[in-house]
Structure formats: C-alpha cells, structure tokens
Structure 1
Amino acid sequence: MHSFKNNLLLIFVASSLVFACSSSRNTNIKHGTGYNFKIGYPEFRTSSFGYVDRQGDAHLKISTHIVKGSLIYKKDIDSLKAKASISIQIVDAENPENIISEKHFKREVATLDEQINSSSETIELENTFSVPPSHYKILVTVTDLTSDKKITQEVTSYIPKTEQGKYSLSSIHMYGKNNEDSEWQRINTYDIKGNVDSLRFVFQIMSPQSKKSMELNSRLLRFESDTSYARPMHYSNYSPSSIEYKGIDYDKETELQSNKRVLSEYSSVFIEYKFAIQDRGNYRFQVTASKEGGEKEIFKARDFGIKSKNYPAVKSTKELARPLIYLMGEKRYEEFIAISDRDSLKKEIDRFWLKNIGSSARARDVIQLYYQRVEEANKQFSNFKEGWKTDLGMIYVLFGPPWYTEDRLNHLSWYYSYNREDPEYSFRFVQPKLKSKYFPFYHYIFKRNNFYYTIQYMQRELWLTGQIITRRL
C-alpha cells in the first residue's frame, strides 16, 4: 500500500511538471491575428512588438495593415477617395479600465483605380509608444468615415523588467519578402501567402550586460495537419482518429532546420533568422535561450501557416480550378485537376462554366459570385487550411451566409429556412476541440447524413445552370 502511494505521488508530480511546462510554453507561442472579417466593414490586421532601447527604456511598436479594397470610396473631382479614422488604446492587461496611452488619427486614400474595391493592397501604419515594462492589451479600432462602420482588433504584449544579470526574450516577429520586393514586409497574420519567397524572424534579447555566455537554440518545425477539401455532405463523418477530425497534430512534428548560437558579449540585442518559404502546411519557429550555470531556460515561438499563392483571393489558374470540387463529382475532378498545362486547364474551366449556363454574360455573374464566396470563406473560416476547404467554408460557398445561426458551446447550427425544424436546410456543426491556447483554431465539422445528397445535388444544379443568381436555394 505504501509503495502504491509513493508511485501515485511520483506520477502526480511528473504530470504536474509536464503540464506546467506545456502551459508555460503555450503562453509563449504567438499565432498572429486573423482577418476579423465582416462583410461591409473595414478589414485590417494588427500586431505589437515590445522592445527595450539602448538606454533601457521600453517601447511598444504597433503595426496595422488596412486593406484598401475594404473601404468605401466616393468620387471626388477626378479621383476616388476613402477616409478612415484609427484609434489605438494601450490598456493595463490586469486592469482594463487603466488606459496607459492612446492615439487617434485619420488617413485618406486617393486613387484613380476604378477596381480599387477588389484590391488587396494595404495601408501600412506603424506607431511607437513609450511605456513601462508590463502586460498590455492593445485595442485598435478602424472606422470607415464614409459608412461609419467600425471594427476593433485586440492583441496582447508583454515587456519584462530587466535587471542586472537577468535576461528575457521578446516575442518573435515575422517578415516576408518575394523577389519583386526590395524590402521586408511585416507579417501580422497566422496565414501567409504562398508567393512569399523568404521568411525572416526577429526577436530581442532583453538584458543588461552579463558576463555569462548565452546559448540560443532555434528550430523550424512542421506539424502534421489536414490540408484536404471538405467531403460531400452525404458522406460518412470523419473518424476521431483521422487527421481531418483532429485538424492538426502538435505531437507529430518534423524538424526542418535547427541552429545553435553561443553569445558571449551582448546586452539588449536583436537576433534574426532567415529561411526560404516552405510548402503549404503549418509550422513553428521556436527559440530557447539559456545561460551557463543552469539558469531557467526561456522559450518563445511563432506559429504560422503557408496558404495558396494569392490567398485569400483566388487568381491563378490552379487556384480557380481547385474550389470547383464542390460542383463536380470526385472522378471528374481528379481528371480535371490533373491537367498540368495552364492554358489547357483555363480552357477546361471556361468550358465547365459555359456548358450549362449558356450565356457568357450570365456565366460571368455566376463565376464572380462563386469566387467571391470562396474569398469570403477564406477570410472567415481559415484555420490550419484555407477557409474554403473547411466544412463551414463548403456550406458557405454553396449556400451563402446562413439566414439564422445558433452557437452553443461546441455546437453550431446554420439555418437556411424560416422553419428551423426543417432538417433539410438545418446544418449542424460540432467542434471536436474547443479553441484555446493549446489549440488556437475554430475547427468545426459538419454532421453529415445520407439525406443531404439530394440537397447538395440540387444546389449544384442552381450553380451549373446559372439559376443561383435569381434563386439562392
């Protein structure tokens, strides 16, 4: 009995240590912001970077990228103009009523481009605030002054106090660059376009001068994750052991690169690492720092996902072809997507749309609506894969925004009928795992059923005949 108690105690202590380590590490893993997308509202992403200057003073650099195409433009003599106001509030994370600093300003965009509303170009804003070391919440609000619609994003930041002989690491920030750009661009989001050629990770060692050497160990990891498109609505549900059900498996990692650095002369310095862009998938760049003498190891990481080339838009021939899986049978789709020649594939895409619709003018309207839905799905539902590939994205692309929604803990219901008891147009989703610091994604799985075969078939026909323009269901 005594031995059993001792073993039980050892198990409990070991479990506590593992959990404490896991908990500590997850709080130091950053994922970037999402699109916070809402139709008709300004679209932007923001991030913050806390650092210490040479004099030991702490600062917050706040980066905000506003998508030009998300603003409302008015004709002004010979150009189009949009106006937006930006509000930045820095508040005490422990006491949100305590506003540490704030700033309010306006920006105007003038353009001759009549297609500006389709542009994914951004207005890049950077603001730096002097603050004492602490935990902060940063609230950034962008208001479109033409529509008076506003939206807010929240990010967090931590700047530790530095003491002689002690050290810490800042959060890790990402930059990207392609061959056409001469400068590195800040990446605020989890999702990264596949057209980026190089990645750069930057962080700061925050420490007064120390005589002890420091060892930095960095790793670039790839995680097993689901990158497939959603199954048809009438197929069987995913097995709990499948990667489609789990979404991403943080226990199955592949080390792509590792590096060890030893610093002997340093104070508060910036460190950077550069990598070539990776294939589509989900990754982590992580750093551990430790000083000689067995001092506490510090861990920081930045997670990110590589998406399609023009994400969240679909522009290339392959990008336009892939979402057609929801309007084709799988055998036909496999033959279609296997076409390697770009011009031949483009002709097949055109032939597919025109085959049943007939009118090229009507076909243009249908095509525009379909790919608009795909892009909106990417902005709203992306997680470890593009939003159009998720179950939520598939339903959104085919049926459009739900008429009514119900969200209860890990269950979500979308209704496309005035009768919420109508099983044919009541779509249920379940979250296998709730979003948390350990699993930072909204991952919903559609509750499939055989009787949805007819519903999806009928919806496909509305698209393929062009009736979707006048009759959505």
Structure 2
Amino acid sequence: MRSILSLLFLASILMMGCSQSMNPDIVRGSTYQYRGGFPEVRLSAIGLLDENDDPHISVAADIVYGSLVYKEVEGMQTANIALEVQILDQADTENIIDTERFTVTIEKEDPNITYSQEVFTFEKEIPVDPGDYQINLTVIDQNSGKHTTRSSNTFIPNPEDNISNLTNIRLLGKQVDEHQGAWLPITTYDVPGKVDSLKFVFQVTNNKSESPLTIDTELIRYESDTSVARPMHYNNYSPSNISYKGIEYDEEEVIQSSRRVLTQPGSVLVEFFFPQQGRGNYRFEVTASGDEDEEEPLFKARDFSVKSTNYPSIKTAQEMLGPLHYLMNDDEYERLSAINDSDSLKAEIDRFWLSNIGNKNEARSVIEMFYSRVEEANKQFSNFKEGWKTDTGMIYILFGPPWYVETHLDVMTWSYAYDRSDPEYNYTFQRSKLKSRFYPFDNYLLRRHQGYFNIQYQQIQLWLTGQILTRSI
C-alpha cells in the first residue's frame, strides 16, 4: 500500500511542476519531473536560422545515466534507448509536422553507472519551415520498456517577413575539466556551481534595412531566500520575511548591461559570455527596439539559478553537510561548518553517523537512504533555492513520501496516517503566493506548531539510531 501511495504522491508532484514558464517570453528551462524507475529527461528546444537563413529546430536533451536500466554485455554496462522527436503545429497539435526516431547505445565500464546522476546529452537539428511549434521528446528505455515524454515550445521567425523578430534564448555552460571544455546546453532552471562559464545565444532578424535595431541586454540578480527550513515547532514565517516571499523580483541588482545597434538587414546570431555567477537567482534579458514610433519593443529572457556544485546530486563533503542541519544540534553543525578541508570534513561526517548508529553496515544503509531522499527532494521541490532547503523538502527527507496528498487552491496536506484528522501525522502547507506568470514557483510553507517539537525529535532519533531502516515513523 505504501509504495502505491508513494507513486501517487510523485505523480501529484509532477502535475504541480510539469509546465514550462507561464510567461512565453521568459524561459526557465525544463523541470525535473522525477519518477523513480523511469528515464529522467530534461528538454530544451530553440528555433534558429542557419547562415543561409534555412530554418531548423535545435533539440537538446539531458538523460540521467542512473535512471536507465543496464545489462552487462562483454564486461560493459550497456543501456539501449530510443528517442522519438515529434514536431507539432503549436496552434493545432493534431497536425504532426515531422517525426524522427533515433537509437542510442550507452556503454560504460564502471558498474556504478547505475547510480550516476551525470547526464548523457542528446543534440539534434531538425529542419522545418518558419512557424510556432510544440516539440515532444519521448525517451524509451529498451531494457525496461519504460518511457518518459517531455515537451517544449518554440518558434522560428520567417526571414522573408518585413518585421523584426527575436528568438528565445538558449543557455549553455562549460566546465573546463569535463567534456573537453565543450559548451553544453543547460536544460533546467538550475545551474550546477561546478560550471565555469555561461553562454547565452539568441537570434535577431531585422528585415528593415532603413531602420536600425537596438539590442539592449542585462544580466540581473534578484534578492531571494537561501535559508534552510526552520524546525517544525518554530514560529511561522512573517509575510515580510524573504523566506515567506521567496524571491523579490522588485529587488534587483544589474550585474552587467550592454547595447548593440544592428544596422545591416538579415538574421544575426548573438552570443554573450559570462563567468559563472555566485549562488542565487538571475535573469538574462534582451530587448530589441526600432524607431520610437514603431511597434512595441521585442523582449525575451532566460531565468536561471546557480546552486551547489553538483546540483541536484550530493557528492562533496560540503554538499553532504548541508542537509545534516535537520539532524544535528546547532553547536555540532557550526563546528563542522568551520572545517574547510574536504577530507577532514568528510571524516567528521562519517564519525557523526557511526558514533550515533554504532554499526558500520547499518550506518552505510542509513547514509544511502538519507542522501537518496536529499537528491529526490532536490528534484521534486527545487525552486529559487535547493529542494532540500524547502519546507516540503525537509518533511520529505525526515518522513519520506506521504501516504496521501490533498490539495485545494493554495493549501496542500500530507498525511502519514490512515486517520486524516490525526494532528501528529498530518502536515499542512500553504503557498505564500499563488503561482502566476509573474511568480512561477510553488513556495509551500509548513504551518508550524509547538506541538511538533516531540514529533520531529522522535523522527530524528529514528535516523540517529538506525531504526529508520525498519520504522518510517
């Protein structure tokens, strides 16, 4: 029963976050849409014109290695996947413009590939006519028979139209010590901190030779919440608190701005490069304007958030320490936070687990369960901050997926008991703001209560004693 209800819970989370940006002029990347046992796929698509003004859609997809099923073939871990790309008329999705099918074989010597959160990147350019399109990508794991479908919208300007156009913005990242320093698409809202450099790519078409086009760009940072979720028995957040508001789009800092004037007609591919920014929430926006008496300026933006080094994965000692905030007392957490050497910090974290649990094998199993939940929380509850830092992430890590989930308008209740009225095991969350085109995040805050002190304490003891392996609550 619990496993079935957990799957239902995951499905409900998918429904909350499956759509792309609610503002078509602001792209925020693909959501994670995590479902255990299914291929994890993140999709990005952008319509462009090549140097001959021939239109095409550039499709990029990240597929998580560890979400696939492998078979050992001649000493190699082998996964076989099929990818079906379907191009639909956005105005009439019954009208299929094109369908392409590709097969990929992934071979790795490392048997730990089944746990890897690294991604295989699939890229393909598909020629189409100018227009507005919906792109559906289905990834089929041929070893398991399970599949995942993701969708994205884009458009391609017509180079023969006597109007100016601005495409969506693609974000790419580069890590010098991986992939030979190649630029790879960033398909999600989240940018791992290990990325060294950022590149933004867009295209402008200006077919009015008598009218120059002015391109203004800005890289903006927004004030946002970075705090770890408060204990369950603390006071509720004040509406004036940044943790309540989540992110302040009215509080911005312009990191860099530029202006470029296009005098020549035709299509121009524009690229902007930036070093990796510090952790936080950002927007790269582009405004293209002609004469003052003409039509409204064109506007496009790409929002993104820089998070921890390997986000959404947990690999480094510093990444492992953060979520232990929910299990440690303040003094112990501060002591470990002051350790700068990664090896020393990792040794202290191991000592923390083993000194509490006592048995090395049990400790290893508890550690694996704990950080699996942290990574799942990152994929299910990520918004302007790491998913494990959210209130829903905290409850998910400590208690696991709820037995039941009920949502009504801006209120969500998680139940960990058959008695839905039991205050000890039913937790209510409320969104601080309704999701809209101006506020695209689900910021669910727990309705805290002093009576939760004992409940959270008892749950922490299950983790610290290893009893969490046999008792969920």
Using the TM superposition, give the Cα deviation of residue 307 of structure 1 relative to its aligned residue in structure 2, in angstroms. Answer: 0.5
Secondary structure (helix, strand or coil) at the match of 1:268 reads strand
Alignment TM-score, normalising by the size of structure 2: 0.91
Distance in 1, matches of 2:54 and 2:339, equals 58
**Alignment deviations for residues 394-416 of structure 1 (CA, whole Å, 9 cap, x no partner):** 01111111122122222212111
| 2:107 aligned with 1:110 | yes
Q: Which amino acid aligns with 1:169?
A: L
Gaps of 5+ in 1: 1-23
Using the TM superposition, give the Cα deviation of residue 294 of structure 1 relative to its aligned residue in structure 2, in angstroms. Answer: 4.0
**Alignment deviations for residues 263-303 of structure 1 (CA, whole Å, 9 cap, x no partner):** 22342110111011111100000111122454331111100
Distance in 1, matches of 2:81 and 2:68, equals 8
Q: Which has the larger radius of gyration?
A: 1
Contact residue 25 and residue 299 of structure 1 kept, 8 A: no
Distance in 2, matches of 1:27 and 1:80, equals 41
**Alignment deviations for residues 2-57 of structure 1 (CA, whole Å, 9 cap, x no partner):** xxxxxxxxxxxxxxxxxxxxxx9943111111111111110011111101234433
- Structure 1 segment 334-353 matched on structure 2, within 5 A: 334-353=334-353
Distance in 2, matches of 1:80 and 1:317, equals 28
**Alignment deviations for residues 152-203 of structure 1 (CA, whole Å, 9 cap, x no partner):** 1111112233445421111111111122142111111110000111101010
**Alignment deviations for residues 316-358 of structure 1 (CA, whole Å, 9 cap, x no partner):** 1111111100002234323331233334322321221111211
Q: Which amino acid aligns with 2:128?
A: V
Change (3 A) 1:384 1:466: same
- Structure 1 segment 231-310 matched on structure 2, within 5 A: 231-292=230-291, 294-296=293-295, 297-310=297-310
**Alignment deviations for residues 43-90 of structure 1 (CA, whole Å, 9 cap, x no partner):** 011111101234433221111111111101122242222222222222
Contact residue 363 and residue 466 of structure 1 kept, 8 A: yes
Q: Which residue of 2 aligns with 1:10?
A: none
Contact residue 174 and residue 195 of structure 2 kept, 8 A: yes
Distance in 2, matches of 1:134 and 1:438, equals 26
Gaps of 5+ in 2: 1-20
| 2:64 aligned with 1:67 | yes
Structure 1 window deviating more from structure 2 (150-159 vs 224-233): it is: 150-159
Q: Which residue of 2 aligns with 1:130?
A: 127
Contact residue 22 and residue 436 of structure 2 kept, 8 A: no
| 2:191 aligned with 1:227 | no
Distance in 2, matches of 1:88 and 1:163, equals 27
| 2:143 aligned with 1:150 | no
Distance in 1, matches of 2:263 and 2:399, equals 61
Q: Which residue of 1 aligns with 2:369?
A: 369
Distance in 1, matches of 2:443 and 2:214, equals 38
Alignment TM-score, normalising by the size of structure 1: 0.91
Q: Which residue of 1 aligns with 2:436?
A: 436
Structure 1 window deviating more from structure 2 (73-82 vs 246-255): it is: 73-82
**Alignment deviations for residues 96-122 of structure 1 (CA, whole Å, 9 cap, x no partner):** 211121122322222221101122232
Contact residue 22 and residue 440 of structure 2 kept, 8 A: no
Q: Displaced runs of 4+ in structure 1, greater than 4 A?
A: none
Aligned-residue RMSD, C-alpha: 1.8
Q: Which residue of 2 aligns with 1:460?
A: 460
Q: Which residue of 1 aligns with 2:171?
A: 174
Q: Which amino acid aligns with 1:96?
A: T
| 2:413 aligned with 1:413 | yes
Q: Which residue of 2 aligns with 1:198?
A: 197
Distance in 2, matches of 1:164 and 1:365, equals 62
Secondary structure (helix, strand or coil) at the match of 1:96 reads strand
Distance in 1, matches of 2:208 and 2:218, equals 26
Change (3 A) 1:96 1:165: closer
Distance in 2, matches of 1:438 and 1:133, equals 29
Distance in 2, matches of 1:185 and 1:129, equals 18
- Structure 1 segment 27-42 matched on structure 2, within 5 A: 27-42=24-39
Distance in 2, matches of 1:79 and 1:183, equals 26
In the alignment of these two chains, the number of paired residues is 450
Distance in 2, matches of 1:454 and 1:168, equals 60
Q: Which residue of 2 aligns with 1:321?
A: 321
Contact residue 50 and residue 61 of structure 1 kept, 8 A: yes
**Alignment deviations for residues 98-152 of structure 1 (CA, whole Å, 9 cap, x no partner):** 1121122322222221101122232222222222322222111112222222221
Contact residue 171 and residue 201 of structure 2 kept, 8 A: yes
Change (3 A) 1:416 1:164: closer
Q: Which amino acid aligns with 1:203?
A: F
Distance in 2, matches of 1:197 and 1:92, equals 37
Q: Which amino acid aligns with 1:138?
A: I
Contact residue 75 and residue 81 of structure 1 kept, 8 A: yes
Distance in 2, matches of 1:343 and 1:53, equals 49
Q: Which residue of 2 aligns with 1:139?
A: 136
Q: Which residue of 1 aligns with 2:40?
A: 43
Q: Which residue of 2 aligns with 1:19?
A: none
Secondary structure (helix, strand or coil) at the match of 1:97 reads strand
Q: Which amino acid aligns with 2:151?
A: E
Distance in 1, matches of 2:213 and 2:422, equals 64
Distance in 1, matches of 2:336 and 2:109, equals 39
Distance in 2, matches of 1:220 and 1:317, equals 31
Structure 1 window deviating more from structure 2 (130-139 vs 303-312): it is: 130-139
| 2:91 aligned with 1:94 | yes
Using the TM superposition, give the Cα deviation of residue 223 of structure 1 relative to its aligned residue in structure 2, in angstroms. Answer: 0.4
Q: Which residue of 2 aligns with 1:7?
A: none
Contact residue 84 and residue 100 of structure 2 kept, 8 A: yes
Q: Which amino acid aligns with 2:181?
A: S
Distance in 2, matches of 1:40 and 1:146, equals 12
Contact residue 219 and residue 286 of structure 1 kept, 8 A: yes
Distance in 1, matches of 2:411 and 2:158, equals 43
Change (3 A) 1:67 1:130: same
Distance in 1, matches of 2:446 and 2:200, equals 37
